[in-house]
Structure 1
Amino acid sequence: MSARIEHTVTSGTFSLDGQTFEVDNNVWVIGDDRECVVVDAPHDVEAILELVAGRDVLAVLATHGHDDHVRCAPELADRVGAPVLLHPDDLVLWRMTHPDREPDRMLVDREVVGVAGVGLQVLHTPGHAPGAVCLYVADLSTVFTGDTLFSGGPGATGRSYSDFDVIIESISERLFTLPPDTTVCPGHGPTTTIEAERPQLRSWIERGY
Structure 2
Amino acid sequence: MTIRVEKVVTSGVFTLDGGSWDVDNNVWLVGDDDEVLVIDAAHDAEAIGRAVGDRRLVAIVCTHAHNDHVNVAPQLSRNFDDAPILLHPDDTALWEQTHPDREPDRPLTDGEVVTVAGASLRVLHTPGHAPGAVCLYEPQLGIVFTGDTLFEGGPGATGRSFSSRDLIVASIRRILFALPPETVVHTGHGPDTSIGAEHANVPPE
Task: Verify same fold: TM over 0.5.
Answer: yes
SS in 2 for 1:42: coil
Q: Does 1:89 align with 2:84?
A: no
Q: Which runs of 5+ in 2 are unaligned?
A: none
What is aligned with 1:155? 156
What is aligned with 2:76? 76
In the alignment, the residues of structure 2 paired with residue 49 and residue 101 of structure 1 have an alpha-carbon distance, to the nearest angstrom, of: 20
Equivalent residues in 2 for 1:78-117, closer than 5 Å: 78-81=78-81, 82-117=83-118
Q: Which runs of 5+ in 1 are unaligned?
A: none
In the alignment, the residues of structure 2 paired with residue 95 and residue 198 of structure 1 have an alpha-carbon distance, to the nearest angstrom, of: 34
Q: Tell me the percent identity.
A: 60
Say how many residue pairs are matched.
Answer: 204
What is aligned with 1:185? 186
In the alignment, the residues of structure 2 paired with residue 117 and residue 8 of structure 1 have an alpha-carbon distance, to the nearest angstrom, of: 22
Q: Cα RMSD (Å) of the superposition? A: 1.0
SS in 1 for 2:6: strand
What is aligned with 1:8? 8
The AA in structure 1 aligned to 2:58 is L
Question: Structure 1 residue 205: deviation in Å?
Answer: 4.6
Runs of 4+ in 1 over 6 A off after TM superposition: none
The TM-score normalised by the length of structure 2 is 0.97
Question: Structure 1 residue 37: deviation in Å?
Answer: 0.2
Q: Deviations over 1:19-46 (max 9, x none)?
A: 0000000000000000010000010001
In the alignment, the residues of structure 2 paired with residue 161 and residue 33 of structure 1 have an alpha-carbon distance, to the nearest angstrom, of: 38
In the alignment, the residues of structure 2 paired with residue 21 and residue 27 of structure 1 have an alpha-carbon distance, to the nearest angstrom, of: 18
SS in 2 for 1:176: helix
What is aligned with 1:19? 19
Q: Does 1:197 align with 2:198?
A: yes
In the alignment, the residues of structure 2 paired with residue 205 and residue 181 of structure 1 have an alpha-carbon distance, to the nearest angstrom, of: 21
In the alignment, the residues of structure 2 paired with residue 69 and residue 200 of structure 1 have an alpha-carbon distance, to the nearest angstrom, of: 24
Q: Deviations over 1:122-166 (max 9, x none)?
A: 000000000000000111100000000000010000000000000
In the alignment, the residues of structure 2 paired with residue 143 and residue 193 of structure 1 have an alpha-carbon distance, to the nearest angstrom, of: 9
The AA in structure 1 aligned to 2:124 is L
What is aligned with 1:173? 174
What is aligned with 2:138? 137
What is aligned with 2:63? 63
What is aligned with 2:125? 124
Question: Structure 1 residue 2: deviation in Å?
Answer: 1.4
In the alignment, the residues of structure 1 paired with residue 45 and residue 170 of structure 2 have an alpha-carbon distance, to the nearest angstrom, of: 34
In the alignment, the residues of structure 2 paired with residue 69 and residue 104 of structure 1 have an alpha-carbon distance, to the nearest angstrom, of: 16
In the alignment, the residues of structure 2 paired with residue 93 and residue 200 of structure 1 have an alpha-carbon distance, to the nearest angstrom, of: 28
Question: Structure 1 residue 199: deviation in Å?
Answer: 2.4
Question: Structure 1 residue 200: deviation in Å?
Answer: 2.4
Q: Deviations over 1:58-116 (max 9, x none)?
A: 00000000000000000001111210000000000000000000000000100000001
